[in-house]
Structure 1
Amino acid sequence: MPDIDRRTALTATGLAGLGLALPTDALAQTANSLDARKPGLPLKSGHLHMGTGTGPQGRIGITNLYLTRDDRPWLPVMGEFHFTRFPSAYWEEELLKMKAAGVGIVASYVLWNHVELAPGRIDWTGDRDIGRFVRLCQKHGLLFFLRPGPWGHAEARFGGIPDWIAGSTRTRSNDPAYMAQVERFWRGLHDQLSGLMWKDGGPIVGMQVENEYNLGGPGQGREHIAALKALAVRIGFDVPLYTVTGWDQTVYPKGEVVPVHGGYPDEPWSAKTVKLPPKENYLFRFDSRVSGDLGAQTRGGRRGDADSDMADTPFLGAEYGGGVPVMYRRRPLLQPADVAAAVTTQVGSGVNLLGYYMFHGGANPMANGRMLEETQRSGGYNDCPAIAYDFQAPIGQYGEVNPVSAALRPLHYFLAEYGETLAPMTVHAPAVLPADKDDLKTLRWAVRAKGDTGFLFVNNHVRQYGTAAHPGTQFDVTLAGGPVRLPSRPVTIAPGDNFFWPIGMDLDGVRLDWATAQPVTRIADSDGPIHVMAACLPGPVELAFPAGTKVDAPARSEGGRVIVQVPPSATRPVRVTGADGRSVRLLLIDREAAKRIWVGEIGGERRVVLSAADALFGPDGLELRQRGEARFAWQILPGKAAMMTAKATAIAPLPFTQTREAGTAPPIEIGGPAKAAMQPLPEAHKAAAAFSFTIPKDVLAKGGDAFLEIDWRGDIGRLFDGPDMLDDAYWDGRVWRIGLKRFAARLGRPWTLTVMPLRADAPIYLDDAARAKLPAGAQVATLEVLRIVPEYRMEVKA
């Protein structure tokens, strides 16, 4: 694996070989100067051995620089959603949530042991009906990326390989017995997906072969990946794209598969019980695409293939963390900015497929009473909850839209509208770079540019670490058309800021020299196009245009440009007319409004909606949903704000009874593959406290949901209806929220919550904010409050 520090120590030889730009003497070497004139690598195609890219819906292709759709650059957003980890009755509305958040491709593992519940008997019914899931994607204009392992990891037992196959074959190799079982599994899968490949008019555009693969030896390594791809092709998985994960020293046959990359804001799989050093995902990348440890279960002991493949393959992502899981020994909690800053920084580093793992959380199924989660005692590296797979994702385990979604949506909408322009752009490094990932003083920035157009990316956020303020900041960027200094007056880049600005952007024929606002999307009405931008800094947005441009706002002439300072307003578009008479409007929203933005179709027209509620754009129009708040406010742009209040239900504590006092929790065992804290054995739960309560049958509104919120303190919580465990959680400081509609048939009868005590000496990691909630004492196992929070819904007619 390349050393982390090496990735940020640029050399002329290394950058030139990758077609990346090195600072030159052509531009005055200020602290914030950058030469963006180097054109980058020449475009080439046809050298990668992919499947059929042409179908009734058009053509999907791949070059060494970017993906293409109908021969035009294409930069899609892909989000992971495991169909077997969510009730099939609600798949359709969850897919609509993903689409509303700007996801265009749904990816999913097909975890083998989720569908083969007994030896030789694969069940594709109910929550395992992948054919129905993919057809629902197709119904709503979503593409699908297939990830069928056969080893998938996904925090599943044996990486998803059934026990009887793990115990009787040499897995993850060309062992004939293993490959025969894989062929049986994949042939059954192909039967379910008949007619759904892209070439047949279906939505399946890609297939990932294996996962986190870095093994060597007879029948392993590149030979095994080649054999798996050949098997897939022979069975009939003919798709435009074949990929393999590219991190942790992965190996693969060059040209047969394309590496995809990722990175996470924390490492729940780490054995450390303290705050981790700054993650490298908050640095711009210039000479490597491979992030640090992403949690592969094996170690290759050699340099992986992905770095040496950079000149021939585009920078594609599959596992940028939309969140992170909570594992037994390590329970980090993310803030929305932790995810948004890392992801935007990687796009600024050249990512041309933004793939998330996970975008939608879920829950592990059981196989005939057997648990399927990864545990150290079963040979895995991690201990995971038996059921919960929430992942702190943009859409949670019960379909709740979480605040991180709001932090990501503006970027997704930008890529959907302007990704064709961004994708061919070369990444350029500034003259002064941070010394390494621990350097929190040097400003982190980069430019993606082509010709005299580009985007300037800035990141001044690092999870759990304070970064320096940068007052008096301007940027000197030299494009093909000459040098540009922006903005016209110095600004302050505050700690935590993360954004990108356009330079030389074409707005329907009107040139925008720069803006201190982030482009979000483009809509149109009878009066022409409207480009929506979000302010990045406090105060007015600065817009700069070529001389001769007319702007219906107070302007000044400076340096041969027209400069305007415009306060953000969601109701007052700014009209701009170029010297040739072409006209366009800009709608500038502030940073708070950007957190409430949604883009989708209403009545067949693409519209922008501002609302703190969650939005779904369905065939019947716009639907808004929100938890615990009956008052809805929204604005459809361009247009006026509206407000309405639904019939409210009082939120009151739910009574409960403690039925068993906590015993003394046993000391936590250190061991397992990670040589770290191991979750207690099942017998240890006899020390758990127990609480009983009953949820009234009438808490669910017609067609809606309600959420049980559990404020508790302890180590492990488990929720039971009689002997059936409904959910579980490791305590991490959050209120535990459980959606009730999937348990509708169980309401009205007593449920039991057990709380395993958390020892004061437990060798586990908790964020400081969580630890601050723990009382003094040898152990804690308490239930503070139970409450039912209703979900309100509102249909909006355009």
Structure 2
Amino acid sequence: MHLIVKCLPLLVAGAFASTACGQALLRIDASAPARAPLENQLQMGASVSPSGERIGANSQYLTRNGKPWMPVMGEFHYSRTPADEWEAELRKMKAAGIDIVATYIMWNHHEEQQGTYVWNGQRDLRRFVQLAAGAGLDVMVRVGPWVHAEVRYGGIPDWVVGAMPTRGDDPQYLRHVARLYGQIGRQLKGLLWKDGGRVIGVQIENEYNLNGPGEGAGHISTLKRMAREAGMDVPLYTVTGWDQTVYPSGEVTPVFGGYPDEPWARSTTELAPKETYAFRFDSRVSGDLGAQTRASTRGTADTDIDKTPFLGAEYGAGLPFMYRRRPVVSSDDIASMLPVQLGSGVNLVGYYMFHGGRNPVGMTTLEESTLTGGYNDTPMISYDFQAPLGPDGQQRPVLTRLRPFHLFMRDFGDRLAPMTVRKPDVVPTGPEDLTTPRLSVRSQGDSAFLFVSNHVRQYPMPLQRQVRFSVKLPGRTVEFPRQPVDLADGAYFIWPLNMDLDGTRLAYATAQPVARLDNGTAGVVYVFAASAGIPVELGFDAAAASSLTAPGARVNQEGGKTVIDGITPGTQAAVTIRRAGKAPVTLLVLTPEQSQQLAIGQLAGQRRLVIGAQQTWFADGGLRMRSDGNPAFRFAVYPALPRTPKAGMPLIAGQDGMFQSFAVTLPARSHEAAFKPVRAARMVRPVMIGGLANAALQPLPESFSAAAAWSIELPRIKNKLDALVELDFVGDIGRLFNGTRMLDDWYYSGYGWQFAARHAGSGPLTLSVLPLRADAPVYIPTEGRPDFGGKEQIAELRAVRVTPIYRLDVKP
């Protein structure tokens, strides 16, 4: 239970003797045996590669070569990104800790005209999958035929929508779906897992909860059979599991998601605290995920909960802007969901979107809109999504918050995946309960991980003072830390209990495991990240004391335990464990900032740690780096490289604790853009209410005759790869043109709009801004809401900034 302990001596079996004054002791009973997974519950496809590698799934987790596997999946839409950018962007995703790239195959992006299929250029699925494999990524193809994806008619071509029933077993519809699937099968031929390729999964349909004649679970069975007949024989078949989804039990496995806000909602104010931030112990669906159809009966995913693993596909790594609702999310709004989802039992974190993009333009624009019967109005071109990787490859701050968790799952997911979720003695009464501490444990035997989150988007959380934890495991109770800690508003983390460090048991740590690096005969390095504002404390058995050294820290013997505190996080070894006949084990505890700058990958033929503030990814045995606006590069590498690498300019070498450091400053560049008004805004009409949501509707196309416009002259840039243009405007909708060709568009929200100069073409650009009315019934966050100064409407271009992009290739 959660209780306040009086000033009395405490002696808990297997824990430390201590005195607690006004401490909050948070208890979790994890003594019951972990659940054993059920096998053979799912009828999947070919699971063995030509080399004998096997991918499988039981009732609790995925497996790879018989071992528990906890991958991270990120969505990236090839047809929304120029093809010449795919390779670098896929490698950036790999360096960000992504293991599987998921992508929608949008039917109307490939067969906009009946019988004319386009599989080249930006729509070259085969090349995209090949490049993903080259980057070391597995691939999940989401084949639809209805995909949603904020695309026109959910991706189904106009000529289909207008001529026949869709999303059911109508024979005419199925004939066209069979042709589509046949085309996809030919594109993927030889690239599937069973052929030695990296396509490991197929998602059927999306957000499917229809249950009329020719619909329901039978339709999903039909689509799966058709996919297999088209050659798509893969280890995993999935469907989305939210909003009362229906599917044939045992033939597919559901995937879940959760978002920190609901851009598709009707509210023009802040939403109540989201379920996404609340640990779940009895369910998997995290609130409304925006399905366009509604059902009233219980979905198959609810009744299948004991038969299928808890897998994710759409945990929001950002959010889209929709016309009526434009929520801006912070890095912590996104990253704080991870301890909650993992602590609720998720064994595959899948993000939507991990990489932003832009809609291609065909015979018409291809966005979801109320004009074509959609539930939402979305931008015609922009699909930015506030994603960790922006449409032009820019790294957003949220990526640095997420990556330590991804690295944790990559190196320790096989330990976590089989663990059972345990709830605390006292749990919040619901998502709106902001005072009861939010935590869970996952355990198997005497090993466990503690998950804590004290962050809820837009709601201040109380300081949880003087907190200690008591976790009852089958063989012992672990009560920690020795010194109580304060959990500040915004705190979130994962801490280990009874963690095996290559033969030495770490009883607990008030720091988060990030990675394990095997450096051969030089030993093993365990990387931890300090939790912001919380002192690092490590607990070991007393017997381990003789093998431990901790320079600069305090080593205490209490109650049969060895406790190390006073650790200063950084790049120096925090603890070294030396045992006779074994290679040393080193604990490296990074600061929170250093852990967010950490990337791990193959460099000079070996897996290495790289710390640097700039965007970093791995390619061709070396490093590639990008810095937006700052010409100074500094990075540190462990283990040391065998020789000083080459980088086009001489690198200044040095030492930073355990790390070899390098620095170089490239020649600085400065670019200025000029703009001038072309036409003033005219008065726009009040925003209309209507559509399926009975909410604010995007103004009709003719309304843009009232938009203000500016002509923009970009500077002459020798290499237009090397600049981002930021359009700082205030209004309702901004649209950027080269002549009459729309390059990009944006719903104003206060979030910065950037556009790569390389896509601007030649000649001046034109920015048109539709005025935002003061009485517009749309949600814009308080911090982004403009000051109208008593005016009825506003349309302003405040600045056009050009940020130079600096690049550094490091070759060992």
TM-score, normalising length from structure 2?
0.92
Contact 1:516 / 1:537 at 8 angstroms: preserved in 2?
A: no
Indicate how the Cα distance of structure 1 residues 615 and 375 shifts in structure 2: closer, same or farther if over 3 A, else same: same
Contact 2:712 / 2:766 at 8 angstroms: preserved in 1?
A: yes
- Tell me what 1:754 maps to: 768
- Asked whether 1:132 is paired with 2:127, we answer yes
- Tell me what 2:646 maps to: none
Determine which of 151, 166, 169 is the counterpart of 1:174: 169
1:652-678 deviation line (CA, Å, top 9, x unaligned): 4x2111010000011100000010000
The CA deviation at 1:95 is 0.3
Aligned partner of 2:436: which letter? Answer: T
The CA deviation at 1:344 is 2.4
CA distance in 2, matches of 1:564, 1:31: 21
Aligned partner of 2:526: which letter? Answer: H
- Tell me what 1:732 maps to: 749
CA distance in 2, matches of 1:151, 1:344: 32
CA distance in 2, matches of 1:379, 1:739: 32
CA distance in 1, matches of 2:579, 2:262: 50
SS in 1 for 2:89: helix
Aligned partner of 2:699: which letter? Answer: P
SS in 1 for 2:514: strand
- Asked whether 1:552 is paired with 2:549, we answer yes
- Tell me what 1:707 maps to: 724
- Asked whether 1:110 is paired with 2:105, we answer yes
SS in 2 for 1:121: coil
CA distance in 2, matches of 1:781, 1:80: 34
Indicate how the Cα distance of structure 1 residues 713 and 791 shifts in structure 2: closer, same or farther if over 3 A, else same: same
- Tell me what 1:18 maps to: none
- Asked whether 1:337 is paired with 2:357, we answer no
1:539-597 deviation line (CA, Å, top 9, x unaligned): 54101111121321230111211100111121334202369966310000011112211
SS in 2 for 1:686: helix
- Tell me what 2:347 maps to: 352
- Tell me what 1:644 maps to: 664
- Tell me what 2:577 maps to: 576
Q: CA RMSD in A?
A: 1.7
- Tell me what 1:49 maps to: 43
- Tell me what 1:8 maps to: none
Unaligned 5+ segments in structure 2 are 1-12, 639-657
Determine which of 301, 309, 317 is the counterpart of 1:314: 309
- Asked whether 1:472 is paired with 2:466, we answer yes
| The 10-residue stretch of structure 1 (635-644 or 342-351) with the greater mean CA deviation from structure 2 | 635-644
Determine which of 783, 792, 796 is the counterpart of 1:782: 796
Indicate how the Cα distance of structure 1 residues 446 and 774 shifts in structure 2: closer, same or farther if over 3 A, else same: farther
Contact 1:284 / 1:349 at 8 angstroms: preserved in 2?
A: yes
Contact 1:273 / 1:763 at 8 angstroms: preserved in 2?
A: yes
- Asked whether 1:496 is paired with 2:490, we answer yes
- Asked whether 1:148 is paired with 2:165, we answer no
- Tell me what 1:689 maps to: 708
- Asked whether 1:285 is paired with 2:264, we answer no
- Tell me what 1:719 maps to: 736
Identity, in percent, stands at 49
| The 10-residue stretch of structure 1 (613-622 or 452-461) with the greater mean CA deviation from structure 2 | 613-622
Aligned partner of 2:782: which letter? Answer: D
**Mapping of residues 134-533 of structure 1, within 5 Å:** 134-368=129-363, 370-525=364-519, 526-533=521-528
Superposed structure 1 runs of 4+ greater than 3 Å apart: 25-31, 577-583, 772-776
SS in 1 for 2:333: helix
CA distance in 2, matches of 1:596, 1:775: 42
Unaligned 5+ segments in structure 1 are 1-24
CA distance in 2, matches of 1:770, 1:579: 61
The CA deviation at 1:180 is 0.6
- Tell me what 1:630 maps to: 631
- Tell me what 2:596 maps to: 595
The CA deviation at 1:651 is 4.5
SS in 1 for 2:600: strand
The CA deviation at 1:30 is 7.5
Contact 2:597 / 2:612 at 8 angstroms: preserved in 1?
A: yes
Aligned partner of 1:641: which letter? Answer: S
Aligned partner of 2:398: which letter? Answer: V
Contact 2:540 / 2:562 at 8 angstroms: preserved in 1?
A: yes
1:595-633 deviation line (CA, Å, top 9, x unaligned): 211111111211111111000100140121110111112
1:103-125 deviation line (CA, Å, top 9, x unaligned): 01000000000111212211111
- Tell me what 1:3 maps to: none
CA distance in 1, matches of 2:790, 2:444: 59
CA distance in 2, matches of 1:30, 1:729: 48
| The 10-residue stretch of structure 1 (240-249 or 728-737) with the greater mean CA deviation from structure 2 | 728-737
CA distance in 2, matches of 1:67, 1:100: 22
- Asked whether 1:34 is paired with 2:48, we answer no
Contact 2:485 / 2:534 at 8 angstroms: preserved in 1?
A: no
Aligned partner of 2:670: which letter? Answer: A
TM-score, normalising length from structure 1?
0.94
Indicate how the Cα distance of structure 1 residues 529 and 774 shifts in structure 2: closer, same or farther if over 3 A, else same: farther
- Tell me what 1:562 maps to: 562
CA distance in 2, matches of 1:234, 1:422: 36
- Tell me what 2:7 maps to: none
CA distance in 1, matches of 2:371, 2:296: 25
CA distance in 2, matches of 1:457, 1:60: 28
| The 10-residue stretch of structure 1 (479-488 or 406-415) with the greater mean CA deviation from structure 2 | 479-488
SS in 2 for 1:640: strand
Contact 1:511 / 1:578 at 8 angstroms: preserved in 2?
A: no
1:752-786 deviation line (CA, Å, top 9, x unaligned): 00000000000000111001555542111010111
SS in 1 for 2:393: coil
1:635-665 deviation line (CA, Å, top 9, x unaligned): 113413332111101244x211101000001
SS in 1 for 2:190: coil
SS in 1 for 2:435: coil
CA distance in 1, matches of 2:356, 2:468: 41
1:122-173 deviation line (CA, Å, top 9, x unaligned): 1111111100000111112110001010000000010000011011111000
CA distance in 1, matches of 2:569, 2:664: 25
Determine which of 680, 703, 708 is the counterpart of 2:699: 680
Indicate how the Cα distance of structure 1 residues 579 and 477 shifts in structure 2: closer, same or farther if over 3 A, else same: farther
- Asked whether 1:613 is paired with 2:614, we answer yes
Indicate how the Cα distance of structure 1 residues 439 and 31 shifts in structure 2: closer, same or farther if over 3 A, else same: farther
1:332-369 deviation line (CA, Å, top 9, x unaligned): 0010000011122101111111100100010001113x
Indicate how the Cα distance of structure 1 residues 26 and 358 shifts in structure 2: closer, same or farther if over 3 A, else same: same
Aligned partner of 2:412: which letter? Answer: Y
SS in 2 for 1:293: coil
Indicate how the Cα distance of structure 1 residues 574 and 774 shifts in structure 2: closer, same or farther if over 3 A, else same: farther
SS in 2 for 1:228: helix
Contact 1:571 / 1:640 at 8 angstroms: preserved in 2?
A: no
The CA deviation at 1:41 is 2.7
Aligned partner of 1:488: which letter? Answer: R
SS in 2 for 1:284: coil
